[in-house]
Amino acid sequence: MDRNEARAKAAALVGRMTLEEKASQLRYDAPAIERLGIPAYNWWGEALHGVARGGTATSFPQAIGLAATFDDALVQALGDAAATEGRAKYNALSARGDRDIYHGLTFWAPNINIFRDPRWGRGQETYGEDPYLTGRMGMAYVRGLQGEGPVLKSAACAKHFAVHSGPEALRHRFDARATPKDLEETYLPAFRDLVTKAGVEAVMGAYNRTNGEPCCGSKFLLVDTLRGAWGFAGHVVSDCWAVRDFHTGHLVTDSPQASAALALSMGCDLNCGCTYLFIVQAVEEGLVPESAVTEAAVRLFTTRYLLGLMEGSEYDAIPYDAVECPAHLALAHEAALKSCVLLKNDGILPLNADAVGTLGVIGPNANSRAALIGNYHGTSSRYVTVLDAIQDAMEGKGRVLYSEGCHLWADRVEHLAQPDDRLAEARAVAAASDTVILVLGYDEHYEGEEPDDSNSGDAGDKPDLLLPAPQRRLLHAVLDEGKPTVVLLMGGSAMDVSEAQERAGAILLAWYPGARGGTAVAELLFGKASPSGKLPVTFYRNAALDELPEFTDYSMRNRTYKNYAGEPLYPFGYGLSYARMRLTALDAGRERARVRVRNDSAFAADEVVEVYVKDEASPDAPVHPVLAGFARVSLGAGEEREVSLPLHADAFTVVGADGVRRPGSGRWTLYAGFSQPDERSAALTGQTCLRATLT
């Protein structure tokens, strides 16, 4: 059914409810109304990279890794797979009376906040630092989750609206100040895309305030922008217990009923938390009219009708055996292969399993399940760590030696031991090996969300961009053994691995590749496929933290690849390949660019063609060229192909200090290549971008 029909049915149903019944339906754990035949429904579901927290499900790479694929068609397929599994689980569990949290069809994903500061622990949940890439990936995931039919396969949610990216420790009382220019240029475009182009069904407000207003009760965000300028017709949900922050953290109200009234009057329909328990009291005290309660309930039941929850749909026939089915596992494997980014290679990769001899695998993430899955993860029926997969690949071909090397962040593995209690063992393994794979990085306990356990001591955010001190000591000690060494990084954010860049033979970034992601990593290490991921964030050197604005400063001045004045360690859009690809021709226009791509090697591989645009005359343009188009292409050995890329219209506009987007100067330079057109990328890749002038 269409939205108008669903809304009419919702209005008729809500019209039969008492005030108390309507108010009860605005909670995330909405109870049954037996006299009206309405079953209980829990709105809280998670599917950031596969169905999460609800039992067994296919585990995809973390969102930041999906962004590194630069493959929105794949991301849409992953969204569809998650929706299929969500339906399969809902069908089976609700038939058995299980309507618990995380078992519904409303998924609070994707997270399309901009990863503006590399210290933010939740940046791993995003699609990186670029609004255009974030919008492309976010729209794809929404379309996959929701489907194309008249019934929503599941309901997606764009979060966290808006201007939200840490610090985690301050989020319940913090005011993120953003200029009109930064709002229009950076913080709002992806949300607008998901609302106006992808039809996302839900939007979640953020914990913090934006320019003085709490995001879940903001007239500017929810009334003027979301429902006013963008015409959003779905429902708004608060972040969890964010409405309570109105009176306990932000101090913009003085009671829970006043907080509930403010959120509801600004159009926050659904409360994840407990504050909407005071809605009836707020109505009785005259703080908010009953009509606002009615409207919120109508919006929520419109979503339930669109999902087919009230009258059934074709999706009710999806069987439970769709969960972790071979097709979905294959998609997860493909995503893991495409997400890994080769940061350095002096020729040591790919390894030859038949000739490598004794292989030493060292490091706290080598045999770690936590390093596979990131945060907001599901449960897999099987986990394949990097060590598992390397041992399988080397079976019958050579010896694999292993040492944990160190704790992920603590100074010892065994609490009764001396500091660095695994360091001598790691050196012994390295000395006895012909080649070393050193597996370092983070997991969700080191970078994540407040109040997750975090070594940083700052509620999930990282204190700096360095590897934890025990890992730095391990890296130095292993490299001092003088053996050919591959550094494998697992994590969800920028790391300063300058010593590895200087001294290791290769560096491969695997992100959090999913529960069985070790298999894909091993296939890349041993050359069964070529790395083809690209960085969706800038990898700064740690010293750059003194150059960037303060973590609490939401200005985009000197932030991200578009405005950073320094030299990064690894630039946005960068990633190497085992193949030798080159662009042989560029034909550029305002709406589309055509390039010819040739594979000059004997290695079949994927590459990502990237197009950037620089406004050469407008003082309001970003400092550096901005991403305007991208396309993934697969080429066999010696193959050449033409690739046509649609270009983002916003790349040919500029945003003034007043926040108004206007046509650009009319003088643009367009660049096409496998990276940004910057000096650091050219130095790392040995290639320069093709360029064309447009007027």
Indicate the burial class of 319 (C-beta count within 10 angstroms; 0-12, 13-18, 19 or more): exposed
At residue 347, the pLDDT reads 97
Q: Measured between alpha carbons, how far is 263 from 219 in angstroms, rounded to an integer?
A: 10
At residue 176, the pLDDT reads 98
Nearest to 277 by CA among 23, 639, 561: 23
The chain-wide mean pLDDT, for the chain, equals: 97
Q: Token digits for 401?
A: 């030696």
Count of helices and strands (H, E) across the chain: 20, 23
**Residues known to be catalytic:** 239
- pLDDT reading at 453 higher than 80: no
Q: Measured between alpha carbons, how far is 689 from 393 in angstroms, rounded to an integer?
A: 37
Q: Measured between alpha carbons, how far is 380 from 55 in angstroms, rounded to an integer?
A: 8
Amino acid identity, position 567: E
At residue 149, the pLDDT reads 87
Nearest to 322 by CA among 106, 83, 105: 83
At residue 2, the pLDDT reads 95
Cα dist. 298→28, 270, 281, 616 in Å?
A: 15, 11, 20, 50
Split at pLDDT 50, 70, 90, the class of 299 is: very high
Q: Measured between alpha carbons, how far is 213 from 1 in angstroms, rounded to an integer?
A: 36
- pLDDT reading at 639 higher than 90: yes
Mean pLDDT value across residues 430-455: 88
Amino acid identity, position 182: D
Q: Measured between alpha carbons, how far is 490 from 509 in angstroms, rounded to an integer?
A: 6
Q: Count CA within 13 A, CB hemisphere, residue 56.
A: 14
Contacts of 496 (CB under 8 A, 6+ apart): 464, 465, 466, 467, 539, 540, 541, 542, 569
What are the beta bridge partners of residue 175?
Answer: 209
- What is the side-by-side order of every strand in the sheet holding 209-210? 175-176, 209-210, 213-214
Instruction: Kindly calculate the radius of gyration of the chain based on its CA atoms and give it in whole angstroms.
Output: 25
Tallying the residues shown for the chain, one arrives at 695
Nearest to 593 by CA among 679, 500, 665, 694: 694
- pLDDT reading at 414 higher than 50: yes
- pLDDT reading at 234 higher than 60: yes
605-616 pLDDT per residue, tens: 999 999 999 999
For 243, other C-beta atoms within 10 Å of its C-beta total 28
Nearest to 372 by CA among 471, 523, 511: 511
Q: Measured between alpha carbons, how far is 569 from 592 in angstroms, rounded to an integer?
A: 31
304-329 pLDDT per residue, tens: 999 999 999 999 999 999 999 999 99
- pLDDT reading at 60 higher than 90: yes
Left (φ > 0), alpha (ψ -120 to 50) or beta: where does 312 sit? left
- What is the side-by-side order of every strand in the sheet holding 506-509? 341-345, 506-509, 485-490, 435-441, 359-362, 400-403
Q: Measured between alpha carbons, how far is 337 from 71 in angstroms, rounded to an integer?
A: 12
Q: What percent of the chain has pLDDT over 90?
A: 98
- pLDDT reading at 454 higher than 60: no
Helix (H) or strand (E) segment spanning residue 422: none
Q: Token digits for 364?
A: 């706290």
465-521 pLDDT per residue, tens: 999 999 999 999 999 999 999 999 999 999 999 999 999 999 999 999 999 999 999
- pLDDT reading at 390 higher than 50: yes
Which residue has 């290791």 as its token pair? 504
At residue 295, the pLDDT reads 98
Q: Measured between alpha carbons, how far is 201 from 491 in angstroms, rounded to an integer?
A: 31
At 159, is the secondary structure helix, strand, or coil? Answer: strand
Amino acid identity, position 539: F
Contacts of 8 (CB under 8 A, 6+ apart): none
pTM for the predicted model, two decimal places: 0.98
129-140 pLDDT per residue, tens: 999 999 999 999
576-614 pLDDT per residue, tens: 999 999 999 999 999 999 999 999 999 999 999 999 999
